[in-house]
Amino acid sequence: MAQKLTLTATLRAKPGMEEELGRRLSALVEPTRKEPGCVNYDLHRSNDNPAVWMLYETWRTRADLDIHFATPYLKNFLGHMEEVLAEPYDMRFYSMTTEHIPPKY
């Protein structure tokens, strides 16, 4: 069985673009969660700096993540991110070492 892959992406907005970056990132959530390989896709905002946003996502396989990067909505975001980002985003990959158990609310 392929190992699940977790990705974190930290993005810092240009001054005055904090809400716009959040709007653009929020627009990615619903379509991404509908992708077959998406285990979770969650958007977070820093408690210390409102310009900093973080995506925490887990994929069944690297191939599923590669398909995600080829979607028109993500390509559009990536193609226009220089309009809102203060610096290049920080993307890190992690291999899941425990089984994902959905939360019980």
Domain boundaries, the chain: 5-95
| Region 5-95: CATH code | 3.30.70.100
Q: What is the pLDDT of residues 6-45, one digit of tens each?
A: 999 999 999 999 999 999 999 999 999 999 999 999 999 9
Q: What does the alpha-carbon distance between residue 95 and residue 90 come to, in Å, rounded to a whole number?
A: 17
Q: What does the alpha-carbon distance between residue 90 and residue 99 come to, in Å, rounded to a whole number?
A: 25
Which pTM does this prediction carry? 0.89
Q: Check if the beta carbon of residue 14 is closer than 8 Å to that of residue 100.
A: no
Q: CA neighbours within 13 Å on the CB side: how many for 93?
A: 9
Q: What is the pLDDT of residues 50-98, one digit of tens each?
A: 999 999 999 999 999 999 999 999 999 999 999 999 999 999 999 877 7
Q: Is 9 helix (H, G, I), strand (E, B) or coil?
A: strand
Q: Is 101 helix (H, G, I), strand (E, B) or coil?
A: coil
